[in-house]
Amino acid sequence: MIIGTMNKQKKRLGWLLFFFLLPAGQQLYAAVAADFERIMHEIAASRKKTAFFVEKKVAFYLDEPLISKGKLYYEYPDKLEKTLVSPVSEKQIIHGDEIKILKQDGSEEHVYTSDHPGIQSVVSAFLALLSGDADRLRAMYAVSSFKQNGGWRLELEPADENIKKWIKHIEVKGKKGKILSIKVIEFNDDYTLTTLYDHEE
Amino acid sequence: MITKNKLINVPQFLWIVLLLGAFLYLGKNLTVVSDMSQFMPASGAGDNNASINLFLDEIQQGVTSKILFISVRADTTENTARFSKRLKRDMLQSGLFVTVANGEIDYEWQRFEKLFRYRYLLKPHLSSTDFSAEKLRLALTQRLADVRAGLGMVLKQTLAADPQNIFFDYLRGLARQQMPAKQYGVWFSADRQEALLLATMNVKGFDLDAQQRAITFVKRDLAEKPEVNIVISGPGSYAVASREKIQQASRILSVAATILILLLFWFAYRSIRLIVLVGLPLISAISFAMLVTNAVFGQVHGITLVFGITLLGVCIDYPVHFFSHLQQQQTALQVIRKIWPTLQLSVVTTSLGYLAFWGTDFTGLSQLAVFTVTGLLSAVAVTRWVLPAWIGTGYVAVIPGWLPLLPQKPGGNTPYYPLLPVLLSMLALSAFFWRDAVWEQDVSALSPIPAEARQTDRRLRQALGAPDVNHLFVLADRDAEKLLQRIESIKQKLQILQAEGLIGRIYAATDILPSRAMQERRKRQLPPPAVLQKNLATALQGLPFRPAFFQPFLQDVAASRSLEPLSVEFMMQTPLAEQLRSNFFWRKGKWISIVRLAGVSDAGALERWLESHPAVGKYYLNLHKATGSIVDNYRREALQRIVWGALIISLFLLITIGSLKKGAGILLPVVLAVILSLGVQLFAGTKLNLFHLLSLLLVAGIGLDYSLFFARHTQGARERLQSLHGVMIGAASTIIAFGLLALSGIPVLVAIGQTVALGVLACFILTLLMSQ
């Protein structure tokens, strides 16, 4: 009974394949999924960070994307300064829950992120990412991590239903201890993509 | 032996019926009010004075009286902020509070939607130039900066209809300018140690129990967290704290006084029956006094009630005189008949003294006159006609063996004794000249709140940027629109001072709700649709915004040009109602509005400016000074009336007695005792206030009573000793009761206690030494 033997052999092969592939699958998964803890640990190694950035905003009220360029300076744990050089010279200083905007015309604006849950969750995500604080990030977002192009990618989904009304998700790309880009996608698909380059530590 | 008298005769029956009737009446009709304006002059400085009274009334019963300042402190800044948020949430859920603010901003759009369409009528300083192409472009570039800073997420809710952020600016302008610094989204003190909250209690009228519940809730809410420290202050907590303190003090004091006086009476009479009966005249006095006062005025003021009952303490003296004169051989009826003429004279003279307060501009004082006179007459009537039947014969006071040893005059002339008291009193009188500040000028010195708590209040008030209560303008009108226009005109004039830096900020109701006239004016400044469309198109050139996106803006401005102005009634239905009501409220047929100043850098310069600008100055009220001057007037009026009372008493006594020498002999020790009581207090550093003065009447009444009893014609040494016994027991019980008040630590009670205890002691000694 060749057919019967074939079937048996196939079955055996199937099992063999299964047992052979199981660790391979795990290895494959391990190859794709990056170690979130390790990434954050590497980011946390530097307490002060400087980089240039290009920011691209796409929104339904804009005809064309709003592009701004400048320099970013971060200081552990919760200070972030963005100095814009293009299209205008402007400064945004985030300290804790306060955003101070120094506009081109010399006027100043203060915004408290805790007054706006949506803005707060974005600012908190930036600060948690830059400080490499894995716990703080996980307290606000469900995090998935992946290996990509020799670096890594994080997908952040808001944990709070209330925040989901403002933000769909945040995508972060990086290499070792460096963040290369952060993309914030709002509930209506408006998005902001911040790309960082020329890091200094 | 007790004779087999019938216990209930006509007078007793009448008394029981009347007392029961009084209880029934009071149970149904007694209205105790704490309306401050009752104790303010009824007539006087005209319309403005009336609005000041209404304002003081509002302070006591309106929103202002329900405000709490709360400070929260925990181990770390982050935890402090977290507890501030939790406390706010719990407080709002409890239903005990109308508003709780801790700096968190509620951006629930729906709440303000009703007001949003009125933004071009509400926003101050909006002019037609704001809609020029140039200004619009500036606004749009600023919005771009906001978007770049990450605010687009929130901004896009209103951007299409309100690219100039007019509505947000209006709301932000209303938020306290000197807002406390924020940490983690909530207000913090300047030293960043404590989180601050501002709450309004959900209390109707003057309900201290409800206020107490609300305050207790705040104290207990985080009780399970030992690391959290909560401090509560503000006008709303004052009333509760003073009541707590007064209740606490009076509980201990009344227990102590009752025990001591019972012991005294036991020592004096050794009879349970007499001790029970001694209280009846006092109970009757208080009940009938409340009944008559309530019937005459339709209400009794809380202050009248408390102070009147204190003054009626003297009624204990009537049965004491009576019981001290009881003898084995005489029936109670015979005894009371014997001392009746003296008792009668004593009550009538004291009553005349209080009658001097009748008919003053201060309703409170008039009420006090009716209250005390009714009480005194009821007490003496009960002593005269009700008590004797229940005593019969067989009771006798216990005269201690040392009593005859007290210095007393056996009859005839003693030139020596009067000299010493006169000299002493002259010395005491010199205190009036020796001390430069005899009168208490600071009203807050009368507050039962300790200075430390007042300090906390000042600190939290400043930290929260609450306006200075000392500089304000009070305006009133039946017509809301006229009132709003007047406020606008005053504010406009005051803005000159603001520009000069003399004042920091002006808080006015028109910031929230402009007058209709102002709203109409703003409407007329709005550009016609075609012009706006053109300006917007120009402004948008070269900017990345989608031009069609701003269609709602064009529509809203066009619609605003024919919008019916916002009314007070409408505003009172919005989330801003509470804020409006604190500065603009309806009271007794009028709209009253308060314009408050904050950050006054030079009060003297402000007052000089106001004097030279009477159109504004006439509405100005320096609350501290105004209450001070009201208290001053009060004291002057009381002093005048007391002098009148003294004259009437003297005249009446001289005429009744018919002898200048004898009359002077009765009056002199009392006058000297009054001087001594005040002099000793002044030497001890006390500043005198209204309550010292009112207490003097009680001292004078008691003193006259002693003097009359010492001076009455007695049959033999035994009866003289009995009179002395009565006076001594009366004096001892008064000194015990008021001496304890003097130890209470509550300024008003201390004033009364000191004056009466010292005065009665002086009266006892001087009348004893000087009586003829």
Contact of A92 with chain B, judged by CB distance below 8 Å, is answered with yes
Pairing of strands B300-301, B32-33: parallel
Contact of A25 with chain B, judged by CB distance below 8 Å, is answered with no
Interval A152-181 mean pLDDT:
92
Kindly indicate the confidence band of residue B413, based on its pLDDT and cuts at 50, 70 and 90.
very low
Cβ atoms of B257 and B737 closer than 8 Å: yes
Residue A3 pLDDT > 60: no
Cβ atoms of B202 and B95 closer than 8 Å: yes
Cα-Cα end-to-end distance for chain B = 36
Cβ atoms of A53 and A70 closer than 8 Å: yes
CA–CA separation, A101 vs A94, rounded Å? 9
pLDDT in tens, B215-235: 999 988 888 888 899 998 887
CA dihedral B131, B133, B135, B141 (to 10 degrees): 120
**For residue B1, what pLDDT is reported?**
40
The amino acid that residue B301 corresponds to is H
Q: How many residues does chain B have?
A: 772
Size of interface A-B (CB pairs under 8 A): 95
Residue B55 pLDDT > 90: no
Span A36-200 CATH architecture: Clam (2.50)
CA–CA separation, B662 vs B419, rounded Å? 17
Query: Which stretches within B159-271 are classed as H helix?
Result: 166-174, 208-221, 235-269
Q: Quick one: closest CA in B to A88, which residue?
A: B145
Among the partner-chain residues B144, B159, B184, the one whose CB lies closest to the CB of A114 is B184
The 10 Å CB-count burial string (b at 16+, else e) for B423-459 is ebbeebbebeeebeeebbeebeeebbbeeebeebbeb
Contact of A27 with chain B, judged by CB distance below 8 Å, is answered with no
CA dihedral B612, B614, B620, B622 (to 10 degrees): 40
Kindly indicate the confidence band of residue B447, based on its pLDDT and cuts at 50, 70 and 90.
low
Kindly indicate the confidence band of residue B7, based on its pLDDT and cuts at 50, 70 and 90.
confident
Residues linked to residue A54 through DSSP beta bridges, in sequence order = A69, A195
- In this complex, do A84 and B148 lie within 8 Å of one another by their Cβ atoms? yes
Q: Whose CA is closest to B576, among B51, B167, B162? A: B167
- In this complex, do A62 and B546 lie within 8 Å of one another by their Cβ atoms? yes
Chain A hits for B546, Cβ within 8 Å: 60-63
pLDDT in tens, B234-271: 877 777 777 777 778 778 888 888 899 899 999 888 88
Interval B698-725 mean pLDDT:
86
Chain A hits for B146, Cβ within 8 Å: 101, 109
Interval B699-723 mean pLDDT:
86
* Coil/strand/helix, residue A30: helix
**For residue B445, what pLDDT is reported?**
64
Residue B658 pLDDT > 60: yes
- In this complex, do B184 and A96 lie within 8 Å of one another by their Cβ atoms? yes
Chain A hits for B160, Cβ within 8 Å: 61
CA–CA separation, B163 vs B136, rounded Å? 8
Among B266-270, B360-364, B443-447, B452-456, the range scoring the smallest mean pLDDT is B443-447
- In this complex, do A96 and B147 lie within 8 Å of one another by their Cβ atoms? no
CA–CA separation, B158 vs B107, rounded Å? 12
- In this complex, do B149 and A166 lie within 8 Å of one another by their Cβ atoms? no
CA–CA separation, B99 vs B579, rounded Å? 10
Q: Whose CA is closest to B183, among A54, A127, A78? A: A78
Cα-Cα end-to-end distance for chain A = 72
Element (H, E) at B703: helix B690-711
Between B656 and B465, residue with greater pLDDT: B656
Q: How many helices (H) and strands (E) does chain A have?
A: 5, 11
Among the partner-chain residues A103, A112, A115, the one whose CB lies closest to the CB of B142 is A103
Q: Enumerate residues 129 to 168 of chain B having a beta carbon within 8 A of any beta carbon in chain A.
A: 138, 141-142, 144-154, 156, 159-160
Largest Cα–Cα distance in chain A? 91
Which value does ipTM take for this structure? 0.85
Q: How far apart are the CA of B86 and the nearest CA of chain A, in angstroms?
A: 14
Contact of A104 with chain B, judged by CB distance below 8 Å, is answered with yes
Cβ atoms of A165 and A187 closer than 8 Å: yes
Contact of A105 with chain B, judged by CB distance below 8 Å, is answered with yes
Among the partner-chain residues B146, B151, B546, the one whose CB lies closest to the CB of A61 is B546
Q: How far apart are the CA of B182 and the nearest CA of chain A, in angstroms?
A: 8
Contact of A85 with chain B, judged by CB distance below 8 Å, is answered with no
Strands (E), A2-43: none
Q: Quick one: closest CA in A to B156, which residue?
A: A61
Residue B4 pLDDT > 60: no
- In this complex, do B544 and A113 lie within 8 Å of one another by their Cβ atoms? no
Among the partner-chain residues B148, B151, B185, the one whose CB lies closest to the CB of A90 is B148
Q: Quick one: closest CA in B to A186, which residue?
A: B153
Residue B45 pLDDT > 50: no
- In this complex, do A105 and B153 lie within 8 Å of one another by their Cβ atoms? no
Classify residue B70 by its DSSP letter: E
Contact of B182 with chain A, judged by CB distance below 8 Å, is answered with yes
Around Cβ B129, how many Cβ atoms within 10 Å?
A: 9
Residue A56 pLDDT > 80: yes
Percent of chain B with pLDDT over 70: 88
Provide the angle, in degrees to the nearest 10, between the axes of the packed helices B280-297 and B10-29. 50
* Coil/strand/helix, residue B627: helix
Element (H, E) at B207: none
Kindly indicate the confidence band of residue B762, based on its pLDDT and cuts at 50, 70 and 90.
very high
Kindly indicate the confidence band of residue B454, based on its pLDDT and cuts at 50, 70 and 90.
confident
Contact of A89 with chain B, judged by CB distance below 8 Å, is answered with no
Tokens of B513: 């709700």
Contact of B169 with chain A, judged by CB distance below 8 Å, is answered with no
Provide the angle, in degrees to the nearest 10, between the axes of the packed helices B660-683 and B419-434. 40
**For residue B107, what pLDDT is reported?**
56
Contact of B537 with chain A, judged by CB distance below 8 Å, is answered with no
Percent of chain B with pLDDT over 90: 33
**For residue B3, what pLDDT is reported?**
46
**For residue A29, what pLDDT is reported?**
62
Chain A hits for B547, Cβ within 8 Å: 63
Domain range summary for chain A, segments of one domain joined by +: 36-200
Q: What is the 3-state secondary structure (H, E, C) of B393-404?
A: CCCCCCCCCCHH
CA–CA separation, B712 vs B724, rounded Å? 11
CA–CA separation, B461 vs B259, rounded Å? 44
**For residue B760, what pLDDT is reported?**
94
Q: Quick one: closest CA in A to B546, which residue?
A: A63
Long-range CB pairs of B174-178 (<8 Å, 24+ gap) are B174/B511, B174/B512, B174/B576, B174/B579, B176/B464, B176/B465, B176/B466, B177/B465, B177/B504, B177/B505, B177/B598, B178/B465, B178/B504, B178/B505, B178/B598, B178/B599
CA dihedral B456, B458, B459, B460 (to 10 degrees): 90
Residue B728 pLDDT > 90: yes
Chain B hits for A166, Cβ within 8 Å: 153
Work out the mean pLDDT of chain B and round it to a whole number: 84
Per the listing, tokens 């005198």 go with B688
* Coil/strand/helix, residue A200: strand
pLDDT in tens, B586-645: 877 889 898 988 778 888 899 899 999 988 888 888 766 776 777 777 788 888 888 888
Backbone angles phi, psi at B586, to 5 degrees: -100, 125
CA–CA separation, B755 vs B691, rounded Å? 9
Chain A hits for B183, Cβ within 8 Å: 96-97
Chain A hits for B142, Cβ within 8 Å: 103, 105, 107
Chain B hits for A116, Cβ within 8 Å: 107, 151, 153-154
Residue B715 pLDDT > 90: no
The 10 Å CB-count burial string (b at 16+, else e) for B257-277 is beebbeebbeebbebeebbeb
Q: How far apart are the CA of B617 and the nearest CA of chain A, in angstroms?
A: 37
Q: Quick one: closest CA in A to B550, which residue?
A: A61
* Coil/strand/helix, residue B603: helix
- In this complex, do A111 and B151 lie within 8 Å of one another by their Cβ atoms? yes
- In this complex, do A57 and B148 lie within 8 Å of one another by their Cβ atoms? yes
pLDDT in tens, A119-164: 989 999 999 999 999 988 998 899 999 888 889 999 999 988 888 9
pLDDT in tens, B69-117: 899 999 888 889 889 989 998 999 998 998 888 887 665 566 788 899 9
CA–CA separation, B696 vs B706, rounded Å? 15
Kindly indicate the confidence band of residue B46, based on its pLDDT and cuts at 50, 70 and 90.
very low
Cβ atoms of A116 and B107 closer than 8 Å: yes
Q: How far apart are the CA of A133 and the nearest CA of chain B, in angstroms?
A: 17
CA–CA separation, B372 vs B280, rounded Å? 16
CA–CA separation, B405 vs B582, rounded Å? 68
Cα dihedral across residues B4, B10, B15, B20: positive or negative: positive
Cβ atoms of B711 and B771 closer than 8 Å: yes
Q: How far apart are the CA of B138 and the nearest CA of chain A, in angstroms?
A: 9
Contact of B33 with chain A, judged by CB distance below 8 Å, is answered with no
Residue B533 pLDDT > 80: yes
Cβ atoms of B186 and B73 closer than 8 Å: no
CB-based burial label for B190 (10 Å; 0-12, 13-18, 19+): exposed
Contact of B181 with chain A, judged by CB distance below 8 Å, is answered with no
**For residue B468, what pLDDT is reported?**
62
CA–CA separation, B331 vs B178, rounded Å? 79
Largest Cα–Cα distance in chain B? 119
- In this complex, do A63 and B545 lie within 8 Å of one another by their Cβ atoms? yes
**For residue A1, what pLDDT is reported?**
43
pLDDT in tens, B296-354: 988 888 778 878 888 888 888 999 999 999 988 888 889 999 999 999 999 998 898 88
Tokens of A195: 């790309």
Q: How far apart are the CA of A114 and the nearest CA of chain B, in angstroms?
A: 5
Q: Enumerate residues 541 to 570 of chain B having a beta carbon within 8 A of any beta carbon in chain A.
A: 544-547, 549
Contact of A139 with chain B, judged by CB distance below 8 Å, is answered with no
Q: How far apart are the CA of A89 and the nearest CA of chain B, in angstroms?
A: 10
- In this complex, do A114 and B159 lie within 8 Å of one another by their Cβ atoms? no
